[in-house]
Structure 1
Amino acid sequence: MDATFKYRTFLVCLTLVFGLSALSVKLISLQVWNRKLSDTSAVPQFRSHEVIPARRGFIVDRNSTVIAQNRQEATLVADLNHLKSESILHRAVAHFYASQKEGWRDFDEAKQKASLSEARMLVKRNLSEEEVVEKHLTYACEIIGQELRTAPSQIREKFKGEATRIVVEKRISERVARRIEKALQERNIQGFYFERSLRREYPMPTLASHLIGIRGYDKNRKLVGLSGLEKSMDEILSGRDGKRVLKRDEYGLVNLTKSEKVVPPKKGKHVKVTLDMGIQAIVEEELGMAFGALNAKYGSVIVVDPHTGDILGMASRPDFDLNIRKKYQDAVSYAVSAQYESGSVMKIIPMAAALDLRRVNRKTVVDCGWGGINRYGFRIHDHHPYGELTFDGVLVKSSNTGVFQFADMAGRESYYRYLRNFGFGSPTGFPIPGEAKGVIQNETNMRNFASATYGYGVSVTPLQLAMAYSVLANGGKLMKPRLVDSLIADNGAVLDQTPIHQVRQVVSSRVAKGMCLALEQVVLKGTGRRAAVPGYRAGGKTGTAEKWDSKTKRYNESEKILTFAGILPVHDPKFVCIVSIDEPSGLGEDFPIGGGTIAAPIFAQVAERVARYMNLPPTEEIPEEETSIVSSTNE
């Protein structure tokens, strides 16, 4: 063998030795010296983050009756990655066969282990991989079906296809979920787990649905409040979600023994509202019956404490069920979001303004012109000829010509100032989305001024009407409506209280009291007679307004909005109630559709029931007022 060949052989061997030595050093480095670094870099491949949902706060009424609460539920999920593990499958199927032995439940632990070991050997020897998978799934479906009271075949159907994550069942109660977990664990069945969540539940789902609102997913698939208080108070009710970092094995299964840091969730605050669900039930029931009988398009009833601005009851139609939500498109609150020309209920504004400015008193007489008067180059009409009427008489007869004359005595600029001071033309600050602010048309036009004094040319909401009539009921103060009373902690401690807020003094207490007495005459002798409440002194005003047709540019006589605004009792007001019915139909051509014939009787029903609910003592027989309706010159 020549020297050249030996030399080349030596070089090859030397290269192999150095190469293998370098590889050995690298392996030792990876396995020993850099083991910590290697482990760390591999962790993200087997980590997952699980959100721990925060418990949403409850919504309760003023008496702590629960309106919105949470119910824990679970979704059963199958992670089919576990089918890749032979040992997992064999353990479960072996348990199935071993448990068929007579007396299995009476075996001690050692005997059960021996039986399981024997069964595993038989499974491994006698069943193919496909048969083991099928047996495992069939066994699991039988166990789950027993607890869910569902046919195992129905559950097995869900495992068809290529998906590795199967939703087996949703909305499982926590009690049933725990039973399933226990049953699967006892039988060594793995690969199934529960995703826990809190479902929002409403014990009285048709009461105050517009105010409470619902939750749902936004465009980013995030669960948020979509309407009502669930939306406006979402951040307060939601709290803050927690999170848990989980480690998974090579099959993707969660290893609970190696879970990492947990950030606990922060509970949401509870919200106490001013509603009284007893009163809410009354307004919902009475409005619901009337709405159906009248075949109306929209409607609302509001009951408010005039002294605090607390909303005690507020119902709107159409409505929807908070738990079902099939008619969620009806989630807009008519009481808050509808703005319309309301007619004669607005006559209190110019009358109160004239009194407050001391331009008139309740004995002042005006000539209503026997059906109409000419002013500023145009004619103002009444529905009937009245002649001379006193201050109270103008309200009792609901005279357009009379109310305009009192408004004219107050002055156009003063009238519009009082109109705004009563809260019209601006939102009340009500804490649910979608509140309308109303519209006040051209204030410099005298025709608009005349129309506005009897409720046309001014668009208002039922809520604004409720707060305006509360001004008369509480001594002349405009109050901000309150729906949220306070925020409550889990232990019942009050975290934050919504203050009672007086916006402004609108008229003097003298004027407010005088207006209440005048409104009492409307119920005793005028257009509001059907609003009378037996045993109680009630006052109020009717309103009948034709709706504007944007196509014909005229008011439509066949489409009307009917309103009654009432106070009870007038000598010591405890609540104000506003009834609005939009476009009633099906009453027959001869039925006299008006605020006095339709809205006033609904007020009477609501007011009587609310008075009894509040344990208001009935008033004694009411003496005749000294103030006459018709001037003595006409008697």
Structure 2
Amino acid sequence: MAVEDKNISYRIYLVAFAIFAMAIFVAIKLTNIQWVEGEYYRKLAKERTVKNFVIPANKGNVYSADGSLLATSIPNYTIRFDAVAPKKEDFDKNVKPLADSLSGLLGKPSSYFQTELRRARANKNRYYLLARKLSYTQYMKMKSFPLFNLGAYKGGMITEQKTVREHPIGKIAERTIGYERQDEGGKETRVGIEGAFGAYLNGKDGQRLMQKIAKNQWKPISDNNEIEPRDGYDIISTIDVYIQDIAHHALLKQLELYEADHGCVVVMETNTGEIKAISNLGRTSDGSYYETINYAVAESHEPGSTFKLVDLIALLDDRKVDTSKVYDSKGGDITYYNRHVRDSKRGGYGKVSLAKGFEVSSNTVMVQAVYDNYKDNPRQFVNRINNLGLDRPLGLPFKGEGRPFIPQPGEKGWSGVALPWMAFGYGVSITPLQTLTLYNAVANNGEMVKPQFVKEIKEWNKTIKKYDKQVLNPKICSDETLKKVHAILENVVKRGTGSKLYSKDFSMAGKTGTAQVDYHKGDGQMYYASSFAGYFPADKPRYSCIVVVHKPNTSKGLYYGADVAGPVFKRIAQKIFTDVPSTNEVKKLNRKILNQEQSYAAYYDKVQKKENIVPNVKGMTGMDAVALLENFGLKVKIKGIGKVKQQSILPGQVFTKNQVITLELS
């Protein structure tokens, strides 16, 4: 009996110990979960059941000064097929009509799609790629195809949406309109207006708490901490699409004609400094031209004879000489420190006045005038250059603005030939836009204004920020000097090196430039940069313009500024003079646009309150109207080109999702 009691006691102790040990283990595990691994499990539980989702903000648009869309965000769809999802009878019944529909939309034969769909089914492929980069309209059309119209779970259609940035006017001004991109390593590249004003365009993402209810299905949870996204603002640029189109094609034609390496053209409004057109085209390996580098802003190079305007302003304003002062071109060849300065005309120009020497772009005349009057005090001449702002960048909002170089007396880069070489545009380095800013100041009665690319930042019809004219120098020289400079620049076109540009129908003023470039290569080849800078009309300037063409093919026989760059300038001036409407017409057009904007804004407010109300898109460009209507879920059909004249569903009417609206453009 005692032995039996002892055994029972032993068992009780054993069970008690086991229970105690288990309790200790549970306690340790609970402590570990709570304090050691607690954060991990809380995070895991949250990810599996509740999760914060980012609500992306809509990026703002970039518009031209005349209201055309330059950059916008549009949905882009990739369609894949889950070949396992459809039932056998549904797949067999619909595979042929689906293939026929895909053929009609995507262009490949129906037999191709039948084969691919059946192969995907046989291989149990749940992620077969059907199409990339579909528009919203194409996506909605595909959703209605046989089999796919059964829904994602029964039809197997998988949709991946991505927002992409589009430039409706294509490659024109692409570098200036710009972009924001991120590579696989996370490195961001910001270019042009989009890059410089990204903080305004991008808006701010929101945040929403969601609960998982099934595989890949989440529902919003009512949460006081939900953050609504703030959509990006719109940027109104200074670009005029009409002038931009003229400038782009005029430059492209000349680059192709002379097989040049690259070139740029900029058109600036004289009084405001607003850039109305800017085109930068570089030659690719296949001989075509694209916007790859913003040469007008980034490329600092020796300007050549367009720099002689600095000579003229300095000499006249410092009262060193008058325009009637006569110089001997000395057979077109002068030597300074054993280095030759030569005229383009063999034998020179004989004895001519300073004014005539400038008009015919005589290097020997302009160099003598500068060297004789500033050799004892070169600092005075260099200070003139500095006071014109040519020794420093313009301070543009874009990254990569080229840095100018002006040699300073007593500093590195200064030598005995520095002064004479500067006089005809060598030994100095400035960007085309800097040169244009100087010529624009002359056209603008001496007031130098900063080039401006953006007019204002808007949130619908509300102005967030406005960019007014920025004066860099209220008076670059005296009125007396300006009067003489105006006359001489006009005579360059009438009877000087720019005489090929002359037209009896309208007046122009400016200066040709031909600079030898890459002369340090030592390959025996001669390379040139041909340019023309000026303004029009000569008597009451409205626009200034610079054209630079780098490395035209010299085998074509012509490489001078008047022959290569000049025709681009003339074409732009000619088209603007011929086709730009009068001031009264513009005022009427502006009133019409203002009324349209007010109407559009009112309907937008209404749509925000009730999302199935059709907005008024009459008067909008086709691209803008399609983007707006498709964002609200309408299917859009377009007839014609231009702006919206009629819409099949009247403004203010109620519509249903995927309802078709037809727009007539004119």
TM-score normalised by the shorter chain: which range applies? 0.7 to 0.9
Q: State which structure, 1 or 2, has the greater radius of gyration over its C-alpha atoms.
A: 1
TM-superposition CA deviations, 1:44-97 (whole Å, max 9, x none): 2415554332211111111111111111233446799xx8xxxxx7xx64xx76
2:429 is matched with 459
Distance (Å, rounded) in 2 between the aligned partners of 1:478 and 1:41: 61
Distance (Å, rounded) in 1 between the aligned partners of 2:237 and 2:247: 17
**Quick check: 2:382–2:408 contact (8 Å CA) kept in 1?**
no
Distance (Å, rounded) in 2 between the aligned partners of 1:173 and 1:398: 56
Distance (Å, rounded) in 1 between the aligned partners of 2:544 and 2:559: 23
Distance (Å, rounded) in 2 between the aligned partners of 1:57 and 1:319: 32
Deviates more, 1:264-273 or 1:345-354: 264-273
2:356 is matched with 393
| Aligned partner (choices 233, 249, 254) of residue 217 of structure 2 | 254
- Residues 507 and 78 (structure 1 numbering): CA distance in 2 closer, same or farther, change over 3 Å? same
Q: Secondary structure at the match of 1:459?
A: coil
1:434 is matched with 400
| Aligned partner (choices 496, 504, 511) of residue 465 of structure 2 | 496
| Aligned partner (choices 529, 533, 540) of residue 565 of structure 1 | 533
Q: What is the CA RMSD across the aligned residues, in angstroms?
A: 4.1
**Identical-residue share of aligned pairs (%):** 24
CA displacement at 1:488 relative to structure 2: 1.3
Q: Secondary structure at the match of 1:263?
A: coil
2:323 is matched with 362
Distance (Å, rounded) in 2 between the aligned partners of 1:187 and 1:473: 65
| Aligned partner (choices 570, 585, 591) of residue 553 of structure 2 | 585
Distance (Å, rounded) in 1 between the aligned partners of 2:461 and 2:497: 48
2:360 aligned partner, one-letter code: K
- Residues 147 and 19 (structure 1 numbering): CA distance in 2 closer, same or farther, change over 3 Å? farther
2:439 aligned partner, one-letter code: Y
Structure 2 residue 4 is matched with structure 1 residue 5: yes
CA displacement at 1:517 relative to structure 2: 0.9
CA displacement at 1:380 relative to structure 2: 4.2
Q: Which has the higher contact order (CA 8 A, sep 6+)?
A: 1
CA displacement at 1:409 relative to structure 2: 2.6
1:72-471 equivalent positions in 2, closer than 5 A: 72-76=75-79, 93=87, 151=113, 153-154=115-116, 169-175=131-137, 177=139, 189=154, 194-221=159-186, 226-248=190-212, 252-256=215-219, 262-318=226-282, 331-373=292-334, 380-382=341-343, 383=345, 384-407=347-370, 408-409=372-373, 412-441=378-407, 443=409, 444-471=414-441
TM-superposition CA deviations, 1:476-523 (whole Å, max 9, x none): 12221111221111x222111122111113212332232111011111
Structure 2 residue 40 is matched with structure 1 residue 71: no
Q: Give the unaligned 5+ runs of structure 1.
A: 84-88, 101-134, 321-325, 618-635
Distance (Å, rounded) in 2 between the aligned partners of 1:230 and 1:70: 12
1:510 is matched with 480
Q: Give the unaligned 5+ runs of structure 2.
A: 107-112, 584-666
Distance (Å, rounded) in 1 between the aligned partners of 2:141 and 2:568: 52
Distance (Å, rounded) in 1 between the aligned partners of 2:68 and 2:496: 40
Q: Secondary structure at the match of 2:230?
A: coil
Q: Secondary structure at the match of 2:511?
A: strand
| Aligned partner (choices 46, 53, 57) of residue 54 of structure 1 | 57
- Residues 319 and 341 (structure 1 numbering): CA distance in 2 closer, same or farther, change over 3 Å? same
Distance (Å, rounded) in 2 between the aligned partners of 1:576 and 1:9: 111
- Residues 484 and 257 (structure 1 numbering): CA distance in 2 closer, same or farther, change over 3 Å? closer
Structure 2 residue 455 is matched with structure 1 residue 485: yes
2:516 is matched with 546
Distance (Å, rounded) in 1 between the aligned partners of 2:43 and 2:428: 70
**Quick check: 1:213–1:331 contact (8 Å CA) kept in 2?**
no
1:598 aligned partner, one-letter code: V
Structure 2 residue 493 is matched with structure 1 residue 523: yes
2:569 is matched with 603
**Quick check: 1:210–1:319 contact (8 Å CA) kept in 2?**
no
- Residues 492 and 484 (structure 1 numbering): CA distance in 2 closer, same or farther, change over 3 Å? same
Q: Paired residues, what number?
A: 549
CA displacement at 1:348 relative to structure 2: 0.9
Distance (Å, rounded) in 2 between the aligned partners of 1:385 and 1:327: 39
Structure 2 residue 498 is matched with structure 1 residue 532: no
CA displacement at 1:377 relative to structure 2: 7.8
